[in-house]
Amino acid sequence: MCQKTFEEKLAELDACIEKHQKSPGPLMPTLHDAQEIFGAIPLEIQKHISKKLGVSVAHINGVVTFYSRFSLTPKGKYIISVCMGTACYVKGAQAILDAVQSELKLKPGETSEDGLFTLEATRCIGACALAPVYSINDEIYGGGTSKKILEDLRKIIKAEEEKNDQNKA
């Protein structure tokens, strides 16, 4: 697997910016691309976008920090989000969150050292009838339990270990 250099990623972002500048409202699509390319939108990238689009860094930073889709620091390959909205909380979401914290040795907002997992405690995601819910990347799991999420995490870990073993062979 070939990793791109920072300069290659920047060139890719510049190509995206050039494309987006031809359309009205280029900031949001540019930020989405930056998040995808770099895995985060740190201040250095915000400054680069600011120069290219002629938008203040303060405005860009306000957008980046407002929307949960964007991050200032890289997120893991698997984003584990436990809904802590009222319905989910009442039906046991805290126990699910506690189980994940214990299993992965992470607190909400943290990413594992290997870059595999990011843990998030989120507000209501609008699936109250399925409470308690959690998501792994974009897949929602309803009727969650501590046991169920730990099974899901262990499947992911096993699959990743098997991929690593295959890559070594």
58-113 residue pLDDT tens: 999 999 999 877 889 888 999 999 999 999 999 999 999 999 999 999 999 899 99
Give the pair of three-digit tokens for residue 141.
């799991």
| Model pTM above 0.85 | no
Backbone Cα Rg of the chain: 18
Per-residue model confidence (pLDDT) at position 2: 60
Decide if pLDDT at 1 tops 60.
no
Query: In whole angstroms, what is the distance from residue 113 CA to residue 76 CA?
Result: 9
In angstroms, the CA 147 to CA 98 distance is 11
Mean pLDDT of 144-161: 96
Residue ranges of domains in the chain: 6-66, 78-168
Structure confidence by residue, pLDDT tens digits, 18-72: 999 999 999 999 999 999 999 899 999 999 999 999 999 999 999 999 987 788 9
Strand partners, 83: 122
How large is the average pLDDT for residues 131-158?
Answer: 96
Structure tokens at 166: 């295959």
Long-range contacts of 125-129 (CB under 8 A, 24+ apart): 125/81, 125/83, 125/85, 127/83, 128/85, 128/87, 128/88
CATH H-level, domain 78-168: superfamily: Glutaredoxin (3.40.30.10)
